Structure 1
Amino acid sequence: MKPLIIAISIVCATAAFADPARWQGEWPDTDFSLSSVRNWSEIRSGGPPKDGIPALSDPKFVRASAKSGLGATEPVITVELKGAQARAYPLRYLIWHEIVNDRIGHRPIAVTYCPLCNSGLVFDRRTEHGVLNFGVTGKLRNSDMVMYDRETESWWQQATGEAIVGQLTGTRLQALPIWLESWTEFRGRHPDGLVMAEPTLNRDYGRNPYRGYDTSRQPFLYDGEMPPYGIHPLERVVRVKDRAWPLTRLRTKGQISEAGITLRWVAGQASALDTSRIDKGRDVGSVRVTDGAGRDVVHDVMFAFAFHAFWPGGHWMLGN
């Protein structure tokens, strides 16, 4: 077991049972009387304290054609919004920070990545309660990052984009249609696009602190029910709403059209959660999901256990 995982496991093994009263000192402005969480034991410490994993805001960017230091197959989160230059957010940065608060044109966004669930989602930060800015609580639920907004200190589930604790409980963020692809793919389509510049914090960017995680026997910090049909808990699945397509099926087919959408897979993207260096990870390929009109569809390439945890009644698209 790797050093970071050992440290996290020790913290969790010795942590007290989840109890909002114990958290009130660290979170005096969070209203724990409002929550959609039925069982508080689902929320546990991930090890770091509040903001121990520092979210970023207003990152700097450089032209893709001028960017150096990224491996050809390194994964980036691609955001292409109408009327704006395409942007790439490398996982080599997100794996250490998990949230980037940014703005594209007039649209404030939150770029998020939870390594333990392999969930990469981008949300519009505008809500009926105003524009929110997000940080990392240091808490996990079903192994997924729990975010918080700095305005009300409500807690949010990253995988679903829903506030689960506090004043804004029940509020949902709008997810945007983005995708994970290799640095080569992004740069090839958008040589004049923008890529996030390396943050100035002292981190070993390019190193994977979760070495070997996505080939582990079981998820860390998760004790919920495992996926059905013999699906390995750490198998990647393509989630669209409450449906999940196993990546093994899509990889074999190359393209699948069903349920009103088309999923495509191409080789060439490295896993960020495999070897110690992200650019050396094994090839897991890139996924693009479109509707009947060819428009990009909101989706997430996450681990099977996380899909089952948050969508226990979801549909498994096995092709049988």
Structure 2
Amino acid sequence: MKRTTFYWTWIILISCVAGLCYAMYWFYRIPPAIEPMEGSAFAESWSGNGSILTVYTPAFESVAAADQYLNDNGLGLDVEINGKHRFYPYQILVWHEVINDLFDDVPVLVTYSPLSDTGMAFERTVDGEEMVFSVSGSLWNNISIFVDATSGSRWIQLYGRAADGEFVGKELRPIMAKTISWSDWKAAYPHGDVLTRDTGATRDYTRNPYGNYAATPAVWYPLTSVDARLDAKTVVYAVSVGNLRAAYPADVITSIGEARETVGGVPIEVTFDEALGTVRAYRLELDGNAGDELVVTRGFWFAFAAAYPGIHLYELP
């Protein structure tokens, strides 16, 4: 009897260890490249059960009030409209992903995709009509997808473009949104407004529901392509140059401070703004001076590489 019990104990133990190893393998592996079709990497996330609540009527508070709970090193989006600044902390956005705001009479859509770590803002109008968006519960290449209330079309965050439905192919106009730490933002804009925890939902905004996801090499859902030039979760800053994107590894651009090159025939300058602790980019004029500022999006390499196969990657000379 004792021998039988001992035998089954070992069988159960070995099975548990094997199961754990198998689970860890699938958790830490990067999915192989599959055929690059926009619809092939759609996936339903756990948010499909309605646990992520869209914010439709955001409230704002002072820097002093927000400073009581925001982490100094925590990141967020700085959105500027007509010289006014608002800060949308990732501590809040990670729980909601989509904020429908009206900022100085401009309909603004603020979005954050936790799995790709990309934050972007857009004007939420299509063909001159104001739109309302919500979390879809779907992902594409681990990038969050939002849906409009008018047609139910699904919009891929990194493109700001509808992937299906009545508005397929339509694009939202991006708004300059800089990824900045709370400590840098409050120092630069002490009189700015900060998205408050008064979202209508009961959430612990001091906790990240994704745990240590950002610190592991895991990519949770399939990718349309994998680019091995960088590790999947290397943080990069992607500069929008027309329809093209150029990626600059965060550690490289913060180290050298400035890079000048030509992307798609357009001369640009990419700089690390020490005062704001973020990366900015500009078109270069004929005289070599900085011209119009370009949209820069911070996030994980795998997302940009999948969304823009063959994306230009800056390398040190």
Aligned residue runs from structure 1 range 63-142, under 5 A:
63-67=62-66, 68-83=68-83, 85-128=84-127, 130-142=129-141
Q: 1:215 to 1:261 in 2, by over 3 A?
A: same
Q: Which runs of 5+ in 2 are unaligned?
A: 1-22, 28-35, 285-289
Give the aligned partner of residue 240 of structure 1.
239
For 1:255 and 1:129, how far apart are their aligned partners in 2?
Answer: 38
For 1:132 and 1:125, how far apart are their aligned partners in 2?
Answer: 5
Give the aligned partner of residue 154 of structure 1.
153
Aligned residue runs from structure 1 range 262-277, under 5 A:
262-265=269-272
User: Cα distance, 1:253 vs. partner?
Assistant: 1.2
Amino acid across the alignment from 1:109? V
Give the aligned partner of residue 280 of structure 2.
288
User: Cα distance, 1:266 vs. partner?
Assistant: 6.0
User: Cα distance, 1:265 vs. partner?
Assistant: 3.2
Larger radius of gyration: 2
Amino acid across the alignment from 1:64? V
Aligned residue runs from structure 1 range 1-320, under 5 A:
38=37, 40-49=39-48, 51-67=50-66, 68-83=68-83, 85-128=84-127, 130-198=129-197, 199-229=199-229, 231-241=230-240, 242-259=245-262, 260-265=267-272, 286-292=278-284, 293=290, 295-320=292-317
Give the aligned partner of residue 27 of structure 1.
none
Q: 1:39 to 1:294 in 2, by over 3 A?
A: closer
Q: Which moved more, 1:40-49 or 1:133-142?
A: 40-49
For 2:37 and 2:314, how far apart are their aligned partners in 1?
Answer: 29
What's the secondary structure of 2:170's corresponding residue? coil
User: Cα distance, 1:214 vs. partner?
Assistant: 2.2
Give the aligned partner of residue 277 of structure 1.
none
Confirm or deny: 8 A CA contact 1:63 1:193 kept in the other structure.
yes
Confirm or deny: 8 A CA contact 2:253 2:271 kept in the other structure.
yes
User: Cα distance, 1:263 vs. partner?
Assistant: 2.7
Q: 1:244 to 1:165 in 2, by over 3 A?
A: same
User: Cα distance, 1:170 vs. partner?
Assistant: 0.4
| Identical amino acids, percent of aligned pairs | 28
Q: 1:294 to 1:64 in 2, by over 3 A?
A: farther
How far does the alpha carbon of each residue in 1:147-176 deviate from its partner, in whole angstroms, 9 at most, with x for none?
Answer: 100111111001110000100000001111
Q: TM-score, normalised by structure 1?
A: 0.77
Q: 1:290 to 1:40 in 2, by over 3 A?
A: closer
Confirm or deny: 8 A CA contact 1:182 1:268 kept in the other structure.
no
For 2:77 and 2:298, how far apart are their aligned partners in 1?
Answer: 11
Confirm or deny: 8 A CA contact 2:82 2:104 kept in the other structure.
no
User: Cα distance, 1:268 vs. partner?
Assistant: 9.9
How far does the alpha carbon of each residue in 1:267-300 deviate from its partner, in whole angstroms, 9 at most, with x for none?
Answer: 799xxxxxxxxxxxxxxx6323344436542111
How far does the alpha carbon of each residue in 1:84-142 deviate from its partner, in whole angstroms, 9 at most, with x for none?
Answer: x2100111000000010001122101100001001110011112061111111111111
User: Cα distance, 1:177 vs. partner?
Assistant: 1.2
Q: TM-score, normalised by structure 2?
A: 0.78
How far does the alpha carbon of each residue in 1:43-76 deviate from its partner, in whole angstroms, 9 at most, with x for none?
Answer: 1111232644111012111122443221222212
Amino acid across the alignment from 1:156? W
- Count of residues paired in the alignment: 270
Q: 1:164 to 1:102 in 2, by over 3 A?
A: same
Confirm or deny: 8 A CA contact 1:73 1:268 kept in the other structure.
no
Amino acid across the alignment from 2:211? R
Higher-helix-fraction structure? 2
Q: 1:180 to 1:225 in 2, by over 3 A?
A: same
User: Cα distance, 1:209 vs. partner?
Assistant: 1.8
Over aligned residue pairs, what C-alpha RMSD do you find?
Answer: 2.4
